Amino acid sequence: SRRWAKTAEILRELEEKCATPNAKLKQIADAMTVEMHAGLASEGGSKLKMLISYVDNLPTGDEEGVYYALDLGGTNFRVLRVQLAGNSGIKSQEFAEVSIPPQLMVGTSQALFDYIAAELAKFVADEGDKYHLPPGRQRELGFTFSFPVMQLSIDSGNLIRWTKGFSIHDMVGQDVVAELTRAMKGQGLDMRVSALVNDTVGTLAGGRYDDKDVVIAVILGTGSNAAYVERAQAIPKWHGPHPKSGEMVINMEWGNFRSSQLPLTEYDIALDAESLNPSEQIFEKMISGMYLGELFRRVLYKMADEAALFGDIVPPNLKTPFILRTPEMSAMHHDTSPDLQVVGNKMKDILEISNTSLKTRKVVGEVCNIIATRGARLAASGILGILRKLGRDTVTNGETTKTVIAMDGGLYEHYTKYSECMENTLHELVGDKVSDTIKLVHSNDGSGIGAALLAASHSRYL
C-alpha cells in the first residue's frame, strides 16, 4: 500500500543520510585532529575550544585526607565525600544525588547556586562530628562543572556559555567559583573550592588514580565531551609557566565540533534550529543522550505525518518535543522479544499509540538502530581523532605503549548497543594491532572522585 511505500522511502532515506562508512569516519577523525591543532594554536582559533584546565599533574595515589566534590552538569547533581588514605587508596566514600528542578535550569544563577549550596550544606550537616578537621582548617571541595569554562586558574573560571538545556543569562561570563562561594557563605557553609574541573577532566583524574595508562577521558551522558593529556610544548596558546610535568590536561569541548563531513539530516537541522543553542554543539546533538531520543521522535513524526504510519491523524503526543527520552529509546532498541513487546508497550505508554502491528514495531526498532548506530560510530571517530593527535593510532615495531581511555556517562553505561557499536567501530578503524594497545574502561563516577582527588592535590594546606 501507499502507507508502506512511503514509510519505506523515509526509512531508506534516513539510512542513506545517516551512513557512516569507515572511510568517512576517518575523514571526520582527520577533521577533528585539524581542529584540535587550530584550537591549541590560538584562543578562538577553532570551534574546538581546547580549554586549558590548569591540571598539569594527575593523581599519583598518594593523596590523603577528607575531601568533597560537587558534580553539576546535567539533570542531577551529586555531592560526594571521600576519605583518601594515601597508598591504601580510598578508605570511604559517600554521596548524595539530587535532581535539579527544571525551572532552575533556565532561571537565575542565584536561584540555582543557592539551591545547590543548600543541598551541599545538608550533606555536610548530616555527617555530624564524624569527620574532624584540625582546628582552623576549612573543608575543601572539588567542583565538577560540566559546561565550557575559560579557566583563569585551577580554582576560578568564567562560564563561556551554557549547553544541554541550561540557559541562565546572568551567569554567562561570570566566575562560577565566585558564585558557588557566595552561595555557600549564604548557607553558613565553611568550605573552599580548591579545584574547578570539567567532568571530562575529573574522569581523567579518577581514571588515572586507578590506572596509570589513562590519557583520554570521554563522557557520553546527557551531553558529550572529551579531555586528554597534551604535551605543554604542543600548546602554542599557553603562555604560562612551563609545567614541571611537561604536560597539561586539555578539555576539548568536542561537543561543539562540526565539519562538512558530518552526516547531517533534515532532522538534525530542525532539532538544532529549535534548540536553546542553535548552531552550537552540533556533534553533541548527533551523539549524546539528551538528543538521540528527540531525533528518534522527529523521524517517527515524519512517518506519521507523511506516510500515515500510525493512522490518518498524527498522534498528538508525537508532536511534543523531547517526549521520547533516550532511556526509552534504548529499551525499545534492546527489545529481543519476538513480537517486540517492549516497543509496543512504550508506543502505547508514551505516545498513546496502541495496537501497532509487528511490521510497524519493526520499523520503529530500525529507526532506533539507525540513529544510535550513527551516534556511536561518530563518537568512535572522535576518539580516533584524539588518538591521531597523540600519535597513538599506529604502532611501530616492538612498541608497547598502552592507551587507556576512561569512559563515563549514563549513555555509555546503559545503552549497551551504543557502547558496543562504538567500541567495535573504534576497533575497525584502528585495526587489530593497534586495538590490542587500546583499552576502554568504565570509570564509574570517576568525575566526582577525580574532582575530590584534584582538590586534594591542590589543597592549600599542603
Least gap, CB of 430 to Mg ion (angstroms): 27
Q: Output 57 or 75, the one with its CB closest to ligand ADP.
A: 75
Give the residue, chosen from 53, 330, 360, 381, that forms a contact with ligand ADP under the rule CB under 6 A. Answer: 330
3-state secondary structure the chain: CHHHHHHHHHHHHHHHHCCCCHHHHHHHHHHHHHHHHHHHHCCCCCCCCCEECCCCCCCCCCCEEEEEEEEECCCEEEEEEEEEEHHHCEEEEEEEEEECCHHHHHCCHHHHHHHHHHHHHHHHHCCCCCCCCCCCCCEEEEEEECCCEEEEECCEEEECCCCCCCCCHHHCCCEHHHHHHHHHHHCCCCEEEEEEECHHHHHHHHHHHHCCCEEEEEEECCCEEEEEEEEHHHCCCCCCCCCCCCEEEEECCHHHCCCCCCCCCHHHHHHHHCCCCCCCCHHHHHHCHHHHHHHHHHHHHHHHHHHCCCCCCCCHHHHCCCCCCHHHHHHHHCCCCCCCHHHHHHHHHHHCCCCCCHHHHHHHHHHHHHHHHHHHHHHHHHHHHHHHHCCCCCCCCCCCCCEEEEEECHHHHHCHHHHHHHHHHHHHHHHHHHHCCEEEEECCCHHHHHHHHHHHHCCCCC
Q: Which one among 207, 221, 255, 382 touches ligand ADP, defined by CB under 6 A?
A: 221
Q: Judged by CB under 5 A, does residue 446 bind Mg ion?
A: no
Q: Does 257 bind ligand ADP (CB under 6 A)?
A: no
Nearest residue to ligand ADP on Cβ basis:
74
255 is an interface residue for Mg ion by CB under 5 A: no
Can residue 73 be called a binding residue for Mg ion (CB under 5 A)? yes
199 catalytically annotated: yes
Choose the contact partner of 6 out of Mg ion, ligand ADP, none; CB within 5 to 8 A by kind. Answer: none
Query: For ligand ADP, which is the closer residue by CB, 411 or 454?
Result: 411
Task: Clarify whether 392 is annotated catalytic.
Answer: no
Which candidate in 56, 155, 199, 445 is catalytic? 199
Does residue 375 touch ligand ADP according to CB under 6 A? no
Report in angstroms how near the CB of residue 447 gets to Mg ion at its nearest: 6
Q: Does 75 bind ligand ADP (CB under 6 A)?
A: yes
Q: Which does 83 bind (CB under 5 to 8 A by kind): ligand ADP, Mg ion, none?
A: none
Site for ligand ADP (CB under 6 A): which residue of 109, 222, 225, 356? 222
Stretch that binds ligand ADP, among 29-37, 72-80, 363-371, 430-438 (CB under 6 A): 72-80
How near is the Cβ of 411 to ligand ADP at its closest, in Å?
4
Instruction: Answer yes or no whether residue 206 interacts with ligand ADP by CB under 6 A.
Output: no
Is residue 450 at the binding interface for ligand ADP, with CB under 6 A as the rule?
no
Please say if 78 is a catalytic residue: yes
Residues marked as catalytic = 78, 146, 199
